[in-house]
Structure 1
Amino acid sequence: MRLVMASVALASLAAQGGVAQQGSDPEHRLPLTWDRWLDHEEVGERLRLMERTWPEFLTLESAGESYGGREMWVMTINNPKTGAEQDKAAMYIEANVHGNEIQGAEVTLYTIWYLMENYGRIDEITRIVDERVFYVVPSVNPDGRDYFLLGTGSGARTGHVPVDDDGDGVADEDGPNDMNGNGVIEQIRKYVPGAGTHRISHDDPRIMETVPPDETGDWVLLGYEGIDDDGDGQVNEDPIGGYDPNRNYGADWQPEYIQGGSMHYPFELPEARALNEFMLARPNIAGAQSYHNSGGMILRGPGAAWGGDYPFADIRVYDELGETGERILPYYNYYIIWQGLYTVHGGSIDWFNDGLGVVSFSNELWSSGQYFNSPLLREQQDEPDSPISGQKGRYFFDDFLEFGAGYVEWAPFDHPIYGPVEMGGWNKLSGRVNPRFMSMELFHRNMAFTLYHADQMPLMSMGETSVERVDGDVYRVRVDVRNERLIPTITERARRHHAVRPDILSVDGDVEIIAAGWVEDKHRPGPTELIEQEELDRILVRSGHPGRTTRTIEYLVRGRGTMTVTYSAVKGGTVSTRVQVR
């Protein structure tokens, strides 16, 4: 795969003039930093700045507003000199579906910036920008993003559509409270000598251990900071939102009693509905990536086991993409969602694949395996007495590499309900979000996988043509039609679901078409399977065109002159060739 070899190619490109300012690192056209997390307003500012810097390639628009009235920005990347958007296969990239899964937005911003910075400098980047279209949505859930970044972060996974979680007729009235005003929703522990469920670890006093069933501890954990705001005897039971933005899509949607957080019907949420309408209006989208947050995984559908796996032809495509992704992304594993993660009904990946016929992945961006990434250190993590084994590794990393920035030490507090307690624990950026100093590699490797995926979307071309006189003014015309990339123009799952318009093979010109058919092997004599359609000048190719395959169409025509043969694939573009019949 050529994109994976970009680092190797750079040296040779420099010698060939492929990289500007030979012998030095080119200056950035738009210098940007990548060591902090941006709130929604700052994301918009950065998008507008990039659009102003590269107006010939970038177009910024809004797909709609979130429930909270924030714009859902979409950046289109296209080179109009090489064709209109709808005539090219497009890659849809989204992030921040869950409000607390923030780093995906920065990956998308980095992707836009990197493509533009290196257009005309790195040949492979230039080629892919010329051949493809990108639709980039940095934040599907801007309400949740701001709630996480600008507040304490607790409960920010959801969106902000009101939900009455405790059934008292009032929505969102009893969430966590930052009782000591330090900006962190901390864990609460209470000292109860001989009557508890936990004890303080001998290895590290910050770690709470569950005692064995036949023992008692001196501590009990009481959840997270908060009080009984609504007087119903419960604490923190009705926070903001309370649903899952990634359970509201149309494929395999299930009601709340089967799939928690799914809401009342598919696409009820304004964010999911707006982006679905955006995608439906752009059927040329052939690939999709939905960046999520934690686990180090490259996930494909299906989200639930009961619908069965994908057809074999589709699995072959997904497996090649996913297994290559495991090489691009160390510490990531390629999994099926329900097997490697958990069951998901009504998720976006299933909708993209099943409802829209789009080959789709979801990358879980941060892997804790990256804390200690040498074979020696990984061995030490398996040794019980090692300072980096088990939970201890996370504390060690925070102490020595982040200088304690991720942890709030336990401290006494007089709680209005629980009395004397201690509060402390990890802050909102710890654990699920990568350390800032490790951002660039995470951004770049994930971008590289997504660009590889985009490069493998269908790319149609016309090949050899031949004309042979059969008798009188009757001629046999053959034309090679090729898909140069891995992904077919119509997946088998999409064909079965009628999710994508059939490809169209059309002829325009001076000749009359008598018969047409696909040649099994043009290099060997044999029968041609006739196409049984009334309009042979407009053949519907319902199964699409397989990946990395050349097929030969044979026409039997009457007359002489010019005939133009055109192959049009919604997700593979439109290509034509002219044939002189004489």
Structure 2
Amino acid sequence: MKRALTALMASCVVGGWVSAASAQAHVQPKHEIAFNRYYTVDQMYAHLRALERAYPEIVRVRSIGKSGEGRDLLVATVTAPDSDDRAKPAMWIDGAIHANEIQAGEVCLYTVWYLATNYGHNDRITELLDDYAFYVMPLVNPDSRVAWFETPSTPHNHRANQMKMDNDRDGLVDEDPAEDLDGDGSITQMWKRDPRGQWVRNRFDPRVFERVPDGEFGEWTYLGSEGIDTDGDGRVNEDTTDGHDMNRNWPADWQPNFVQYGAGAYPLSAPETRAIAEFCYERPNIAAFQSYHNTGGMILRGPGSSHRAREYPRADLRVYDELARAGEEMLPYYRYLIIHADLYNVHGGEATWASEGLGIIAFTNELWTAGKYFQRDVNDPNDEQMRRFRDRMQFGMTFTDYTEVEHPEHGTVLVGGLNKWSSRSTPTFMLEEECHRNFAFTMFHGGEMPKIAFDRTKVERIGTGGLWAVTVEVRNEKIIPTRTARAREKKIGRADLLTVEGVEVVASGELGDWWDKQMREVRHEPGRVLVEGGVPGRGSVVYRFIVRGQPGETLDIRYSSEKAADIATTIILSEQAD
């Protein structure tokens, strides 16, 4: 019996148990990165450069331009060794166009790290990089990330870039920035003792201020955000260093500032948005697009305003729906939503520009959601639930204790409260999972970029005179077509091209299916067919060529697409070919 068990174990080792275990074994990275913390711009860029040094055959990092303050705009190209990224479909991935949405940068960094680390070790990752390329830009807005980390901030400010802007429209620029009166690095709250105030402090937890009933007096008055009215206009911190909202600066449905606040002087007026647009326009092989933001746990698609709904054909919506429904399964507590219908109007958004202007499938993920605090259906936790979570799980790190500060206008005030880490950003102990789940969804999207191949072929002799009917089928095994309906309708980019060389092509045309007897004839250049509709997702196109040649002659057939790797085949004129 013992011998039999030993033999069984040995056969299992040889037969596959070891390979299964090996597939799940830990891959030792050549460059370690901790994903339970957040990184400054310099640290983020240092990690990108280190990944390039560790995996030079897979990762290439380049600057595609300069930010408004002169910082490099780094993009990592990730693809298989010894391959041309422009000769295969590619996906653009970026993060933190709103710099306060900080975990977007970490998700992008995780993407580069995971792909590079697992290439050659994980079959799925290896196949992804063999077939596709990924252009990853972790920090669209590096200037404001520096400002968010290094200057007083709330969870919500430093969203825009750092271009000079008259935020309060008084003719002055940046004259009333935020002031950190207690020196904790955050802009919190100010309270003043007032015998006729409307608030009292909770006797069990003095961090909590409670409003008194109408008609009664409390002990405190809420003064608003921590700061000083520097310019004397009655408002505090209303003209900071923040400038234009770069997610309102794109050509798709761009509107001027009086319609869409923060839009900039004209589309792509920000150097960061212009650099990205030029990069994408120069690479028509980009077939998918993902932008990371926060917060709310959303997978968003356009349009950004209701009057643009017609810009999203039904055929494309079926693709969006299939991809995003899978995303809802992969991202617990995330919802698939339409920007204008389920969120708010966005004119000049980046992802809508990718959809409407580039004609590709584009999503925006709003990272993190309150439901994940509790790992159950508590999508709108109340203040008390949030206090318990922050106290018990984050050990008070998101709260600054109240201290007395002398204020030039109000005298002695209390300053403190929730700091800039208290909302929007994923708690660091949960960050790696957030990175991985969003990365996995984006790889699912990217892994459904077009992949075409010649399928069935048939050669038939037609009567006399050396005429032959050659029928070929080109199949796409992926969800995303080689040309979206949007690209076809608006003639975005070049149509796919099917060519025949080596013999005289007398006529050609498309068939409705493989068994169709009639073809829709190509009227000009029958040997060079423009396939305006491309190859549909999980579908095929069938074309027939009437050629003149002798038995044994060959014809070279090539299918070329901007969004798919080119394919070619050689067919011999022979009645046995089928």
Structure 2 counterpart of 1:190, from 174, 180, 192: 192
* Aligned residue number for residue 121 of structure 2: 121
Which residues of 2 match residues 62-101 of structure 1 at below 5 A?
A: 62-81=63-82, 83-101=83-101
Distance 1:479 1:17 in 2: 43
Contact 1:96 1:140 in 2 (8 A): yes
* Aligned residue number for residue 335 of structure 2: 333
Contact 2:181 2:415 in 1 (8 A): no
Q: Secondary structure at the match of 1:193?
A: coil
* Aligned residue number for residue 559 of structure 1: 549
Equivalent position amino acid for 1:558 in 2: R
The structural deviation recorded for 1:411 is 2.7
- Structure 2, unmatched stretches of 5+, are 1-11
* Aligned residue number for residue 550 of structure 1: 540
Equivalent position amino acid for 1:537 in 2: G
Q: Secondary structure at the match of 1:185?
A: coil
Q: Secondary structure at the match of 1:91?
A: strand
| 1:112 paired to 2:105 | no
TM-score by length of 2: 0.91
Which residues of 2 match residues 420-435 of structure 1 at below 5 A?
A: 420-435=412-427
Distance 2:486 2:516 in 1: 33
Distance 2:23 2:197 in 1: 71
Which residues of 2 match residues 376-525 of structure 1 at below 5 A?
A: 378=378, 390-472=382-464, 473-509=466-502, 511-522=503-514, 524=515
* Aligned residue number for residue 171 of structure 2: 169
Distance 2:60 2:364 in 1: 25
The structural deviation recorded for 1:496 is 2.1
Q: Secondary structure at the match of 1:159?
A: coil
Distance 1:531 1:12 in 2: 59
* Stretch moving more, 336-345 or 210-219: 210-219
- 1:324-369 deviations in Å (ceiling 9; x for gaps): 0000000100101112221110000111111111211011111111
Contact 1:490 1:500 in 2 (8 A): no
- 1:210-255 deviations in Å (ceiling 9; x for gaps): 6677777654322212112234443212101243111000000001
- 1:109-131 deviations in Å (ceiling 9; x for gaps): 11111111111211111101100
Distance 2:126 2:314 in 1: 34
Distance 1:23 1:146 in 2: 38
Equivalent position amino acid for 2:316 in 1: D
The structural deviation recorded for 1:266 is 0.5
Q: Secondary structure at the match of 1:61?
A: strand
Contact 2:23 2:121 in 1 (8 A): no
Q: Secondary structure at the match of 2:431?
A: helix
* Aligned residue number for residue 3 of structure 2: none
* Aligned residue number for residue 4 of structure 2: none
* Stretch moving more, 442-451 or 416-425: 416-425
Equivalent position amino acid for 2:16 in 1: A
Contact 1:19 1:120 in 2 (8 A): no
The structural deviation recorded for 1:425 is 1.4
Q: Secondary structure at the match of 2:64?
A: strand
The structural deviation recorded for 1:314 is 0.7
* Aligned residue number for residue 350 of structure 1: 352
Equivalent position amino acid for 1:474 in 2: L
The structural deviation recorded for 1:12 is 12
The structural deviation recorded for 1:541 is 1.4
* Aligned residue number for residue 314 of structure 1: 316
The structural deviation recorded for 1:471 is 1.6
The structural deviation recorded for 1:570 is 0.5
The structural deviation recorded for 1:418 is 2.0
Which residues of 2 match residues 197-216 of structure 1 at below 5 A?
A: 198=199, 200=201, 205-208=206-209
Structure 2 counterpart of 1:538, from 528, 550, 556: 528
Distance 1:13 1:542 in 2: 51
**CA 1:24 to 1:123, structure 2 compared with 1: closer, same or farther past 3 Å?**
closer
Equivalent position amino acid for 1:276 in 2: A
* Stretch moving more, 165-174 or 131-140: 165-174
The structural deviation recorded for 1:209 is 5.1
TM-score by length of 1: 0.91
Contact 2:27 2:117 in 1 (8 A): no
Distance 1:157 1:331 in 2: 24
Q: Secondary structure at the match of 1:52?
A: helix
The structural deviation recorded for 1:191 is 3.4
- 1:274-321 deviations in Å (ceiling 9; x for gaps): 111111111110111100011010111111112225211011000000
Q: Secondary structure at the match of 2:366?
A: strand
The structural deviation recorded for 1:419 is 2.4
**CA 1:392 to 1:487, structure 2 compared with 1: closer, same or farther past 3 Å?**
same
* Aligned residue number for residue 297 of structure 2: 296
Distance 2:298 2:529 in 1: 41
- Structure 1, unmatched stretches of 5+, are 1-10, 383-388
Equivalent position amino acid for 1:223 in 2: G
* Stretch moving more, 128-137 or 161-170: 161-170
Distance 1:366 1:565 in 2: 49
**CA 1:336 to 1:445, structure 2 compared with 1: closer, same or farther past 3 Å?**
same
* Aligned residue number for residue 264 of structure 1: 265
Size of the alignment, in residue pairs?
A: 557
Contact 1:97 1:141 in 2 (8 A): yes
- 1:114-149 deviations in Å (ceiling 9; x for gaps): 111111211111101100000000100000111111
* Aligned residue number for residue 520 of structure 2: 529
The structural deviation recorded for 1:190 is 2.6
The structural deviation recorded for 1:199 is 5.2
Q: Secondary structure at the match of 2:195?
A: strand
Distance 1:127 1:23 in 2: 17
Distance 1:167 1:23 in 2: 58
- 1:248-267 deviations in Å (ceiling 9; x for gaps): 00000001111111111111
- 1:86-131 deviations in Å (ceiling 9; x for gaps): 2211010000101111111111111111111111211111101100
Q: Secondary structure at the match of 1:128?
A: helix
Which residues of 2 match residues 242-281 of structure 1 at below 5 A?
A: 242-281=243-282
* Aligned residue number for residue 34 of structure 2: 33
- 1:47-103 deviations in Å (ceiling 9; x for gaps): 11110111111111001010011101000012243x422221101000010111111
Contact 2:483 2:534 in 1 (8 A): yes
Distance 2:215 2:324 in 1: 46
Q: Secondary structure at the match of 1:326?
A: helix
- 1:459-479 deviations in Å (ceiling 9; x for gaps): 111112111001220000011
Q: Secondary structure at the match of 1:164?
A: coil
Distance 1:461 1:156 in 2: 48
The structural deviation recorded for 1:566 is 1.1
Q: Secondary structure at the match of 1:308?
A: helix
Distance 1:14 1:149 in 2: 53
